[in-house]
Amino acid sequence: MILDHDLYKLTDKLASERDLTDEEFLRILFCDDPEFISYLSAKAREKKEEYYGKKVYIRGLIEFTNHCKNNCHYCGIRRDNKNALRYRLSEEEILSCCDTGYGLGFRTFVLQGGEDGYYTDDRMVDIVSAIRKKYPDCAITLSIGEREKESYQKLFDAGADRYLLRHETADKEHYGSLHPIDMSFDHRMQCLKDLREIGFQVGCGMMIGSPGQTMEHIIKDLRFIQKFRPEMVGMGPFIPHHDTMYANEKAGSVELTLRLLSVIRLMFPAVLLPATTALGTLDPMGREKGLMAGANVLMPNLSPVNVRDKYTLYDDKICTGEEAAECIRCLKMRVSKTGYEIVQDRGDPAG
C-alpha cells in the first residue's frame, strides 16, 4: 500500500518523466483527497504556464449540421432520434458566423457536424476554400467524423489545418458497446492515422464516464494518446441525452475529468487541451475549474442562435440562448477571474 505522501512524489515523477506505470496512474486517478488534488492541479498549471504563460486560446465553434448517418448510442443527434429537429447551414451562413467571430477576435474556426452526406467533398472543399480565402490569418479546424483518406487530403489541400476526431475509447470491446455494429473501431483508428499522415494537427479524445467505461479503459486511452501523440486532446464528461438508450445512465464525474486534465497536461506539456462545454454543463464553474486543472483552450459557440438548441448531443447544454458577442463577453470575464487571459491568436501548439 503506497502512503498518501507518495502520491505527491508520484506527481513530481509524472511532471519530470511524463510517464508512470499503470498502477501509479491508477493511484493518482482514484485519489479524491482535496489537498492532493490541489497539488496535482498546481503542478499541471505550472507546466501549462511554462509553455503557454497565462494565455487561453479560443476556438469559434460552428455547429453547421445536425444531420448524421451514424447511430452512436450516446449521442442526441444520432440518426434514429426522430425527435431531433434537423438543420443545415449554407455556405453563406457559415461565412457569416466566421465574420461575426473574426470581429470578436476569433482566429480559429471549428466546423463541427454529424456525418452528413449532403456535405460532399466538393461542397466541403468550397466551404473550406472560401474561409481560407477570406481569412488567411485564421486556422480552420474540421470535426466532421470519419471519411476516406482521399477526402481528408482534399480538405487539407483546400486549406483546413486541424481535425478533431475523438477516438471515444481505446478499448475495442468498449467501443463496440457504445456504437452500433456497423461502426468500426479499426476504421476510426485508421482515420486518425490518415489525418496524421496527411499533415493535419490532430485531436483525439474520449468522454469520461461513458457507459461501461472502467479505469482500465482510461489507462488504455492514456497509452493510446502516448503512442499517437496528438496536438490536441478533447476530453469531457459523458452526459446522458433523454432520447437515447443511455437516458438513465449517470453522467461522468467532473472531479475525475479534472484529474485527467491535469494528468494529460503533465504527460503532454504542450498539448492543446479544451475545458469543454460538457464540463461547464455539469458544473457552473466547470470551465474555470478546467483551466485551473491544466486546460488552455475554450470553444465558445458561433452558431446562429436559432439553431443552437438543435445541436443537442446531451441534455441541458449551456450557452444555447446567447449571441456570440454575449458569450465571449461572459467568458472573458470568467477567465480573467481565474488569472488567465483570452487572447486573439490562432493558438498553434507551442514548441
- Coil vs helix vs strand at 151: helix
To ligand FES, the closest distance from the beta carbon of 115 in angstroms equals 6
Nearer to ligand FES (CB atom), residue 20 or residue 75:
75
Cβ-defined contacts of 83-91 (< 8 Å, 24+): 83/243, 84/243, 84/310, 84/312, 85/310, 86/310, 87/307, 87/310, 88/64, 88/116, 88/118, 89/62, 89/64, 89/65, 89/303, 89/304, 89/307, 91/123, 91/126, 91/127, 91/130
317 touches ligand FES by CB under 6 A: no
78 touches ligand FES by CB under 6 A: yes
Residue 78 interacting entry, from ligand SAM, ligand FES, none, C-beta within 5 to 8 Å by type: ligand FES
Nearer to ligand SAM (CB atom), residue 135 or residue 311:
311
From candidates 7, 77, 140, 307, binder to ligand FES by CB under 6 A: 77
Contacts of 344 (CB under 8 A, 6+ apart): 105, 106, 107
Name the one range near ligand FES by CB under 6 A: 1-9, 70-78, 275-283, 340-348: 70-78
Nearer to ligand FES (CB atom), residue 13 or residue 67:
67
Residue 276 interacting entry, from ligand FES, ligand SAM, none, C-beta within 5 to 8 Å by type: none
Q: In whole angstroms, what separates CA 143 from the centre of its chain?
A: 10
Here the cell at position 276 is 469543454
To ligand SAM, the closest distance from the beta carbon of 233 in angstroms equals 12
Binding site for ligand SAM (CB under 6 A): 74-75, 112, 114-115, 143-145, 165-166, 168, 207, 236, 238-239, 241, 278, 313-314
Cell numbers 507518495: residue: 6
**Length of the chain counted residue by residue:** 351
To ligand SAM, the closest distance from the beta carbon of 145 in angstroms equals 4
To ligand SAM, the closest distance from the beta carbon of 208 in angstroms equals 9
How far apart, in whole angstroms, are the C-alpha atoms of residue 151 and residue 125? 9
Nearest 5°: the CA angle 220, 12, 335 is 80
From candidates 27, 29, 46, 70, binder to ligand FES by CB under 6 A: 70
178 touches ligand FES by CB under 6 A: no
How far apart, in whole angstroms, are the C-alpha atoms of residue 33 and residue 11? 14
**231 DSSP 8-state letter:** S
Site string (110-129) toward ligand FES, x via CB under 6 A: ----xx--------------
Nearer to ligand SAM (CB atom), residue 45 or residue 162:
162
Q: Pick the closest to residue 236 from 214, 212, 210 (CA basis).
A: 210
Nearer to ligand SAM (CB atom), residue 165 or residue 219:
165
To ligand SAM, the closest distance from the beta carbon of 306 in angstroms equals 19
Q: Pick the closest to residue 143 from 72, 215, 191 (CA basis).
A: 191
Nearest 10 degrees: CA dihedral of 98, 100, 103, 109?
-30
Instruction: Provide φ and ψ at 343, rounded to 5°.
Output: -120, 160
Nearer to ligand SAM (CB atom), residue 84 or residue 95:
84
Give the amino acid at 271.
Answer: V
Here the cell at position 85 is 429537429
75 touches ligand FES by CB under 6 A: yes
Residue 165 interacting entry, from ligand SAM, ligand FES, none, C-beta within 5 to 8 Å by type: ligand SAM
To ligand SAM, the closest distance from the beta carbon of 17 in angstroms equals 29
184 touches ligand FES by CB under 6 A: no
Site for ligand FES, rule CB under 6 A? 68, 70, 72, 75, 77-78, 114-115
